[in-house]
Amino acid sequence: MTDRYGRTIDYARISITDRCNLRCVYCMPAEGVPKLERSEVLSYEMLLAICRAIVSLGIVKFKVTGGEPLVRKGCTGFVAALKRIAGVRSVTLTTNGLLLPGAAAALRAAGLDGVNISLDTLDPARYQALTRGGRLEDALEGVRSALKAGLRVKLNCVPTAGSTPDDLVRLAAIAQAHPVEVRFIELMPVGPGAHLGGIPNRQVADWLEAVYGPAEPYHGRLGNGPARYVHFPGFIGRIGWISAMGDCFCGHCNRIRLSSAGRLAPCLCLPESIDLRPALAAGETALCAAIREGILSKPARHHFEPGVEAGGRTMSQVGG
Ligand code: SAM
Ligand code: SF4
């Protein structure tokens, strides 16, 4: 469906849990965020009922997210059920990768179209510091298992103060040797991300070009979102830029977000969200009307300001 600004909304990010097995410094405070009660988290049946209503409004591409989606039991079954909804065109998943070795093959068999894996550094000590305890090798094993299972893989890196040119150049080199997209996401002032220093993508691009030479724009379509892709000579995969701060892409925004508590967020920058539970209980017509209302309340653009916390929640609560 089309929103008030003429944008086609065809993509929904569905968070299935607010829990996570990491505590990335830009996403969650060290102590974590207050957890939802079990009774507050929507069952898979409820999530699927909302997804069916979303599809009936013309939204056909889904990203399963969290928190960490793979910590919720039954994630693979949910992916399979989502894929079976008539009209759904793609279902992808975003994960920190730690639990992928035990899940990638089953996810592929369930029909998952691709996986985004968060990977901010190739330095084991920095990975452990950034994720507050994660092991780089576990994430890399996750990447390997996804490739082995035949999943399309994108790696997401959020450069922050302390990311070195050398580290990011090595991360980009994964796309030199493998058929993956390595994407650099500018830090957004959401949750603790507001109080950290980010690195503009323009700076990262300069670092990469100094080593790999001038990049060529890639005009093909890859994925659901605002990433702009380039190709470096000799690379098998591509490099993607998601520059929410340096190059506002809101004019092409195509998405809505559903939290695991059933709240529809029209925009990352706004604290407002719509509780879909009452409409879900009232039936399909009410549900579609509530989702439509959410889409029509999307703002023209975000109003992120560096250092000013936006949205009133963490990315782990809204799904990134
Ligand atoms: N746990 C999964 C993961 O890490 O991919 C899914 C949820 S996570 C909230 C989704 C994405 O949000 C990750 O790629 C993460 O890097 C990104 N993210 C979290 N906080 C961010 C921030 N303040 N600015 C930009 N991206 C952020
Ligand atoms: Fe967890 Fe993903 Fe947030 Fe890291 S970015 S704390 S892995 S939800």
Q: Residue 201 has what pLDDT?
A: 97
Q: How far is the CA of 18 from the centre of ligand 2 (A)?
A: 10
Residue 80 banded pLDDT, cuts 50, 70, 90? very high
**Which ligand has its closest atom nearest to the C-alpha of 187?**
1
Stretch 10-33: mean pLDDT, rounded? 94
Probe residue for ligand 1, chosen from 94, 95, 188 as the CB with the greatest number of ligand atoms within 8 Å: 94
Residue 134 has pLDDT above 80, yes or no: yes
Residue nearest to atom 12 of ligand 1 (CA): 320
Residue 84 banded pLDDT, cuts 50, 70, 90? very high
Q: How far is the CA of 111 from the centre of ligand 2 (A)?
A: 24
Tens digit of each residue's pLDDT (9 = 90 or more) over 200-223: 999 999 999 999 999 999 987 777
Question: How many angstroms separate the Cα of 151 from the Cα of each of 115, 171, 242?
Answer: 7, 19, 22
Atom index in ligand 1 nearest the CA of residue 68 equals 1
Distance CA 164, CA 178 (A): 22
Stretch 132-155: mean pLDDT, rounded? 98
What residues does ligand 1 touch, defined as CB less than 6 Å away? Answer: 20, 26-27, 65-66, 68, 94-96, 118, 156, 158, 185, 187-188, 190-191, 193, 315-316, 319-320
Q: How far is the CA of 27 from the centre of ligand 1 (A)?
A: 6
| Residue 207, token pair as written in the block | 């670092």
Q: How far is the CA of 265 from the centre of ligand 1 (A)?
A: 16
What distance lies between CA 134 and its chain's CA centroid?
Answer: 19
Distance CA 80, CA 64 (A): 11
